Amino acid sequence: MQKIMSLIVLIFTTIIAAAQDSASVSTIKIAGTRFTYPIVQKWIDEYAKINPSVKIRIETKVPADSLDILIVSHILRAGDVKANHASVTLNRYILLPVVNSERSDLEQLQQKGITADRWKQIFFTNGQSNFNSAGGNEWIVYKREKPSCSSIAFANHFGNEQKDIRGIPVPGDDRDLLAVVKKDKNAISYNSPGIIYNIKSRKLVDSVAIVPIDLNNNGVIDAKEKIYATLDDLLSYTERTNDPSIPVDQVHAIYNSKPGKEVTEFLSWILAKGQQYNHEYGFLNPDAHTIQSEKNQLVTAVLKSCSPSGTQLVKYPVSK
């Protein structure tokens, strides 16, 4: 009988311990802009090393209202941030004109480049999806089939809306859009550096080329405009100059305006420590003013949502 009682006590102790462990584990669910998932997963993996009790997952098939963090990668418009929610800027990204590397007039294009006005003409003038370039070669324009953050950001840069982008619709995500460009020698589209470049080699992926932007509109790509040889060259130039001719937009996290401590601390960690991974994955750092402003906002959010006992937000020192 004593052995039986001891066994029962052991079973109950195990059940209680398991329940306590389960209760101590928090889960943060994230979804949104898919081209950001590689860096978001990196943030999750690194954060787990110092906060193993907080479980964070990228969810691909869950209702938006069940998410703790929604990633949105374009200028936030009226209605994007719902009532009782707030947003914080995590990093930035570039959009570039991309063509097939076997295009017959590629050498000419890379010598002369493409002006902002010409770029706008290609993607937004009338409703055609194909026409001839200045050299007589055909352009076949491809775009995302459904509304997407990159398409909205691309259109915003040129003072248009996503629905105004002309071209042949491509189902899927930004990687699917690039795959079509790889197959069509006359294709032109737009995409972000984390997809256009191999983040390991820092070189352009196979079968694609970038049409350089004629930043000074002189009809020639000068030495200082040759910024695309490596991913790091591109990121360095863009951060150093903030040239308005290069389309750049922000990546935002939308969250409940009275978030749990775990959500706020994770976002705070991204701003303080996660920025060191931006370049690795093809993203730009926000400026110092933005970082400080967003950190202050998170501190305010946690103070509003903390219990009377005074929950404190962990302050991570900013990585240098």
Quick one: fold of 96-246? D-Maltodextrin-Binding Protein; domain 2 (3.40.190)
Distance CA 171, CA 30 (A): 23
- The widest CA-to-CA distance across the chain, in whole angstroms, is 94
The confidence score (pLDDT) of residue 259 equals 75
- Give the pLDDT confidence of 116-162 residue by residue, as tens digits: 888 888 999 755 555 555 555 788 999 999 999 999 999 999 999 99
Let me know the angle formed at the C-alpha of 64 by 279 and 312, rounded to the nearest 5 degrees.
65
Distance CA 224, CA 243 (A): 12
The residue written with tokens 């995590």 in the block is 90
DSSP 8-state code for residue 286: P
Instruction: Tell me the sheet residues that pair with 168.
Output: 142
Token couple for 304: 């509003």
Q: Is the confidence at residue 23, as pLDDT, over 90?
A: no
Q: Is the confidence at residue 245, as pLDDT, over 60?
A: yes
Each domain of the chain, given as residue ranges in start order, spans 29-92+250-305, 96-246
Mean pLDDT of the chain: 86
Reported confidence tier of residue 26, pLDDT bands at 50, 70, 90: confident
Q: Does residue 28 come out as left (phi exceeding 0), alpha (psi in the -120 to 50 range) or beta?
A: beta
- DSSP code per residue over 257-275: SS--HHHHHHHHHHHHTGG
Q: How many CB atoms lie within 10 A of CB 83?
A: 5
Quick one: fold of 29-92+250-305? D-Maltodextrin-Binding Protein; domain 2 (3.40.190)
By the 8 A CB rule, do 231 and 197 touch?
A: yes
Distance CA 151, CA 191 (A): 9
Q: Is the confidence at residue 220, as pLDDT, over 50?
A: yes
Reported confidence tier of residue 232, pLDDT bands at 50, 70, 90: very high
By the 8 A CB rule, do 139 and 166 touch?
A: no
Task: Mention every residue, 6+ apart, whose C-beta is less than 8 A from residue 252.
Answer: 71, 72, 73, 76, 87, 88, 89, 90
**Is 96-246 the same fold as 29-92+250-305?**
yes
- DSSP code per residue over 176-216: HHHHHHHH-TTEEEEE-HHHHB-TTT-SBPTTEEE--B-TT
The confidence score (pLDDT) of residue 131 equals 56
The confidence score (pLDDT) of residue 31 equals 96
Reported confidence tier of residue 60, pLDDT bands at 50, 70, 90: confident
Mean pLDDT of 276-292: 94
Instruction: Tell me the sheet residues that pair with 254.
Output: 70, 87
Distance CA 299, CA 102 (A): 52
Mean pLDDT of 87-101: 96
Look up the pTM and report it. Answer: 0.85
Express as a percent the part of the chain with pLDDT over 90.
68
Mean pLDDT of 6-34: 56
The residue written with tokens 């055609």 in the block is 128
Express as a percent the part of the chain with pLDDT over 70.
82
